[in-house]
Amino acid sequence: MAGKFISLEGGEGAGKTTLIRKLKTHLENQGLEVIITREPGGTPGAEDLRDILLTGQTDRWSPVTEALLMYAARVDHVERLIQPALARGAWVISDRFSDSTLAYQGAAGGVDIARIRQLHTVALEDFYPDLTFILDLDPLVGLRRTVERGEDPTRFEMHETDFHTRLRDAFLRIASDEPDRCVVLDASMAPDAVYEAALEIMADKLGANA
């Protein structure tokens, strides 16, 4: 039986990585093989692209170039890691996927959404996650969390507040446009409360195994 593909989306510091670790442990306790991965990245070639995408000045690439680079990385990721894992029955959880391109390069960066959707079709046809969690959080709270972590900011974290507000609105719009696939989680709750809410949704949407 094919596995399931879950993506987590949201603004900076929303708590995706924290939630993914908990979901992995839960699913492994159900006897499932679980692969956790991230975008941009996830395979050696895509991680090379991640290095150039996340470093340098905010205007290092135009939003269209960013979208193309994100999709170059994504095709490698899907073909070499995600699809083979799903085919052998593993569950794959990715820290970001295609909705991030719609939100970051599209709604926040200014690339026409229809153009990004066309790019998706050219690159991956109708391949999408089975379930997407959108972690919704005030962007200032998320950015504060990343600052408190003490790492250097990425190119995207350095954008103005307006950019992060557009991102939040974009993710909420994606969730309301695609209610079968996407579920919004209130990421201002404590980590365990976010996890409990995610477990309930996963069981409801993906069935008994979850």
- Among 7, 37, 100, 132, indicate the residue that binds ligand T5A (CB under 6 A): 100
Q: Shortest gap between Cβ of 208 and ligand T5A (angstroms)?
A: 27
- Among 96, 120, 166, 168, indicate the residue that binds ligand T5A (CB under 6 A): 96
Tokens (6 digits) for 79: 């073909």
Report d(CA 24, CA 56) in Å as an integer: 32
Phi, psi of 26, deg, nearest 5:
-60, -50
Interface with ligand T5A, residue 194, by CB under 6 A = yes
Interface with ligand T5A, residue 145, by CB under 6 A = yes
Interface with ligand T5A, residue 146, by CB under 6 A = yes
* Closest to ligand T5A by CB, 2 or 122: 122
Burial class of 118 by CB neighbour count within 10 A (0 to 12, 13 to 18, 19+): exposed
103 neighbors 12 (Cβ within 8 angstroms): no
SS3 category, 158: coil
SS3 category, 55: coil
Interface with ligand T5A, residue 70, by CB under 6 A = yes
Sites of contact with ligand T5A (CB under 6 A): 10, 12-18, 38-40, 54, 70, 95-96, 100-101, 104-105, 145-146, 149, 154, 156, 187, 190-191, 194
